[in-house]
């Protein structure tokens, strides 16, 4: 019933076009559209600039003997440019996010679905008519019309449109795989789905809302920064407005156009103009990671996190135990053992079995028997062994007691060297498997949780940023400690239950720490809700997805580390540009003040450190610099300032040097350069 079923092959849809070349044109149009004061209201500093631009434009019509009209016109023009540049930055950031969201949304246009009515029959309704609690039936080949939970059925779902992962995933009722996402395609069977979100609240809608400037909720730090910027604007307004009476007292007057210019250069236009772009670009970076945040607040909180609670399985280790070593029994050669273990595992399809085969193939070059020559002996609950029969020999592997029973041996009779090895493996948190050929014990295989490569370094980086990692596992404390030591986590929560997890989060929070965690099961939901940053896996349960404030579409728990990085970058970028913006004012004063007072106190000309050519060119240069610096900083605002793993003091010193001292120095050079250029071109 999904009427416009697109060609299945075309499903990954058009790739989101996010290059500058594709985006600048619509952004330019948007820059003008955003001149609407109702939209600018969200960026109060820019609203002030727009008002002054209007005011200056009007002043151009009233000739002032002190200011040539051409100069006044240029000032007015650059004031308009200042607003347009800021709008352009926002539009560009918005455009990138929207392009990504639109490519996701493309499939949902005109979607219809079967909704169960009161009589138990199904009506065909547009997907937009669905409300929370509605039940729909979806058949193979159709799109799932909205986020929901599987009530009945089992089916394969292609979630490529959302996750980019082309292999279909299984969704079924009950258990931890019951949640489905709107705009994903059923590739087999059928599902009965209870819709869990109203229109406009789905995962996709949330994604879009986060990158659209006008609908975007400001994050707490952004609000705080906004207040500071408004405060600074007010202060400078007072400074500029009171300057005229002071000038009158000194027996002179300052042209209004110049006062306006002074105001605009002093108020924090750089950060005021880029603030919104920074926020949108931050969310966009998150979307690019395939993580959807319920709100920007959670992303910011991620930057503040003190403690990461990470599930061992899947995050720190690969999900399954893997073969890590073999130890031969006395009198057995390594090659004999290797061959025996390989044969015993050839038919074993479990991850453990495969890992043994993989391990041994790398170690020796065995001639493997043809599959047809084998008699497979599968694992049964009775024997608790598996293996093959080959050339009248029986190769088996299994847990220690099962294999001993198979060869008819008491535990005490086992060779001492082997017993020691078995005990050592068990104590280190691993699993020992015995291998035998007929009645002869060959040796022991060491299976263990294997820590993902690179994760240790990742944790070390986090530690430098002051973030502690806690490994959460159901394992006993001994096993847990062994893995923890190998992975380099700071702390372990062993034999974890959902209650213990929740209690641990509460305890950390009571100590004033912010906690981030990820989870997927229904029993993770309370902990996810309690954590300051809770990231649910997309293939998890609906309960977990609802409790969390972020969903990872790729269901990769290590993403949490990237989210922390994005959160930090977002904050650092804002801080850096704020500092830069305020530091800029010093140079602007030295450009404008001597120019303003040139008539009243020519002696103040000594403050003209930059030796700018004339009062007019000095003021115009400052205004031009003020506008252009926004353009220059757009790439930085969109890309974000990189956060290196380092202590707070180190980060502060580095950023203060770049953005603080840089902010003091750069405008001196910039304004001087523009002044030279303006005079060379005879614009003043």
Catalytic residues: 311
585 annotated among ligand-binding-site residues = no
Nearer to another protein, 404 or 618 (CB): 618
Closest distance of CB 261 from another protein, Å: 13
Asked if residue 250 binds another protein (CB under 8 A), the reply is yes
553 annotated among ligand-binding-site residues = no
- String of b and e for 616-647 (b: at least 16 CB within 10 Å)? bbbbbbbbbbbbbbbbebbebbbebbebebee
Asked if residue 593 binds another protein (CB under 8 A), the reply is yes
Nearest to 270 by CA among 44, 570, 581, 579: 581
520 annotated among ligand-binding-site residues = yes
524 annotated among ligand-binding-site residues = yes
Which residue's structure tokens are 């016109």?
A: 73
Asked if residue 61 binds another protein (CB under 8 A), the reply is no
Nearer to another protein, 129 or 652 (CB): 652
Asked if residue 428 binds another protein (CB under 8 A), the reply is no
Residue 425 near residue 307, CB atoms below 8 Å: no
Stretch that binds another protein, among 358-366, 398-406, 507-515, 533-541 (CB under 8 A): 507-515
- Binder among 51, 256, 363, 604 for another protein (CB under 8 A): 604
Nearer to another protein, 20 or 246 (CB): 246
Structure tokens at 2: 């999904």
Asked if residue 507 binds another protein (CB under 8 A), the reply is no
CA pair distance 228, 156, nearest whole angstrom: 52
Nearest to 550 by CA among 526, 572, 523, 528: 528
The DSSP secondary-structure symbol of 661 reads I
User: Helices (H), strands (E): how many in the chain?
Assistant: 23, 22
Stretch that binds another protein, among 127-135, 185-193, 230-238, 401-409 (CB under 8 A): 230-238
Nearer to another protein, 22 or 514 (CB): 514
385 annotated among ligand-binding-site residues = yes
Asked if residue 253 binds another protein (CB under 8 A), the reply is no
Residues 6+ apart with CB under 8 A from 52: 79, 260, 263, 264
Residue 310 near residue 518, CB atoms below 8 Å: yes
Asked if residue 503 binds another protein (CB under 8 A), the reply is no
Residues 6+ apart with CB under 8 A from 681: none
How many of the other CB atoms lie within 10 Å of CB of 205? 20
379 annotated among ligand-binding-site residues = yes
CA distances from 531 to 23, 306, 503, 547, 549 (A): 38, 11, 11, 10, 9
Binders of another protein among residues 88 to 127 (CB under 8 A) are: none
CA distances from 35 to 57, 58, 156, 325, 366 (A): 15, 17, 48, 68, 74
Pairing mode of beta strands 375-377, 179-180: unpaired
Asked if residue 603 binds another protein (CB under 8 A), the reply is yes
Asked if residue 513 binds another protein (CB under 8 A), the reply is yes
Asked if residue 427 binds another protein (CB under 8 A), the reply is no
DSSP letter string, 219-249: PHHHHHHHHHHHHHHHHHHHHHHHHHHHHHH
- Binder among 220, 319, 330, 635 for another protein (CB under 8 A): 220
The site string for another protein over 557-576 (x = CB under 8 A, - otherwise) reads ----------xxx-xx-xxx
269 annotated among ligand-binding-site residues = no
Binders of another protein among residues 273 to 302 (CB under 8 A) are: 300
352 annotated among ligand-binding-site residues = yes
Half-sphere exposure for 398 (CA within 13 Å, toward CB): 22
69 annotated among ligand-binding-site residues = no
- Binder among 22, 54, 192, 607 for another protein (CB under 8 A): 607
Asked if residue 586 binds another protein (CB under 8 A), the reply is yes
Asked if residue 227 binds another protein (CB under 8 A), the reply is yes
Which residue's structure tokens are 């959670």?
A: 298
Binders of another protein among residues 463 to 482 (CB under 8 A) are: 465-467
Asked if residue 21 binds another protein (CB under 8 A), the reply is no
The site string for another protein over 162-201 (x = CB under 8 A, - otherwise) reads ----------------------------------------
Which residue's structure tokens are 């949640």?
A: 179
List, as residue ranges, the binding site for Mg(2+).
520, 524
């Amino acid at each position: 019933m999904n009427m416009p079923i697109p060609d299945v092959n075309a499903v990954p849809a058009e790739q989101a076009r996010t290059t500058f070349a594709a985006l600048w044109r619509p952004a330019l149009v948007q820059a003008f559209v955003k001149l609407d004061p109702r939209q600018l209201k969200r960026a109060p500093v820019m609203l002030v600039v727009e008002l002054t631009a209007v005011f200056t434009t009007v002043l151009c019509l009233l000739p002032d003997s002190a200011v040539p009209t051409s100069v006044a016109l240029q000032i007015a023009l650059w004031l308009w440019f200042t607003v347009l540049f800021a709008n352009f930055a926002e539009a560009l950031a918005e455009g990138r996010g929207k392009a990504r969201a639109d490519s996701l949304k493309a499939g949902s246009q005109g979607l219809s679905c079967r909704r169960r009515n009161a009589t138990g029959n199904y009506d065909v309704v547009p997907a937009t008519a669905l409300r929370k609690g509605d039940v729909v039936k979806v058949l193979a080949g159709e799109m799932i019309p909205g986020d929901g939970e599987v009530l009945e059925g089992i089916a394969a779902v292609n979630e490529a449109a959302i996750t980019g992962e082309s292999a279909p995933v299984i969704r079924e009722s009950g258990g931890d795989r019951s949640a489905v996402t709107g705009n994903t395609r059923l590739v087999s069977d059928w599902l009965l789905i209870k819709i869990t979100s109203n229109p406009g609240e789905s995962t996709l809608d949330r994604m879009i809302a986060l990158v659209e400037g006008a609908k975007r909720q400001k994050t707490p730090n952004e609000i705080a920064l906004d207040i500071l910027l408004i405060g600074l604007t007010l202060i400078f307004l007072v400074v500029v407005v009171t300057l005229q009476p002071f000038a009158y007292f000194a027996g002179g007057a300052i042209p209004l156009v110049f006062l306006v210019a002074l105001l605009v250069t002093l108020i924090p236009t750089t950060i005021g103009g880029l603030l919104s772009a920074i926020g949108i670009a931050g969310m966009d970076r998150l979307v690019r990671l395939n993580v959807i945040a319920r709100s920007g607040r959670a992303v910011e909180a991620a930057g503040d996190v003190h403690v990461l609670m990470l599930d061992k399985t899947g995050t720190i280790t690969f999900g399954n135990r893997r073969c890590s070593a073999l130890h031969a029994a006395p009198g057995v050669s390594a090659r004999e053992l290797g061959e025996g273990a390989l044969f015993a595992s050839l038919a074993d399809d479990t991850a453990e079995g495969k890992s043994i085969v993989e391990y041994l193939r790398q170690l020796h070059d065995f001639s493997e028997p043809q599959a047809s020559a084998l008699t497979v002996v599968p694992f049964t609950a009775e024997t608790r062994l598996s293996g093959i029969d080959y050339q009248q020999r029986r190769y088996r592997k299994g847990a220690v007691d099962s294999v001993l029973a198979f060869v008819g041996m008491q535990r005490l009779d086992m060779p001492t060297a082997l017993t020691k090895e078995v005990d050592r493996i068990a104590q280190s948190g691993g699993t020992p498997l015995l291998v035998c050929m007929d009645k002869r014990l060959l040796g022991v295989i060491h299976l263990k949780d294997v820590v993902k490569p690179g994760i240790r370094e990742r944790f070390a980086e986090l530690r430098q940023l002051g973030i502690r990692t806690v490994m959460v596992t159901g394992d006993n404390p001994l096993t847990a400690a062994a893995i923890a030591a190998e992975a380099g986590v700071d702390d372990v929560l062993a034999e974890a239950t959902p209650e213990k997890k929740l209690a641990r989060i509460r305890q950390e929070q009571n100590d004033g720490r912010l906690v981030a965690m990820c989870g997927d099961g229904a029993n993770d939901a309370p902990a996810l809700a309690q954590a300051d940053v809770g990231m649910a896996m997309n293939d998890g349960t609906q309960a977990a997805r609802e409790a969390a404030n972020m969903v990872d579409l790729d269901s990769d728990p290590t993403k949490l580390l990237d989210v922390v990085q994005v959160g930090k970058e977002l904050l650092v970028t804002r801080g850096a540009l704020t500092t830069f913006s305020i530091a800029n004012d010093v140079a602007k004063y030295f450009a404008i003040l001597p120019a303003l007072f040139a008539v009243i106190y020519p002696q103040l000309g000594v403050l003209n450190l930059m030796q700018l050519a004339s009062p007019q060119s000095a003021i115009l240069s400052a205004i031009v610099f003020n506008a252009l610096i926004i353009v220059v900083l757009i790439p930085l605002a969109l890309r974000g300032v990189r956060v290196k793993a380092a202590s707070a003091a180190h980060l502060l010193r580095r950023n203060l040097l770049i953005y603080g001292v840089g902010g003091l120095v750069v405008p001196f050079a910039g304004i001087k350069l523009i002044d030279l250029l303006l005079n060379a071109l005879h614009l003043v």
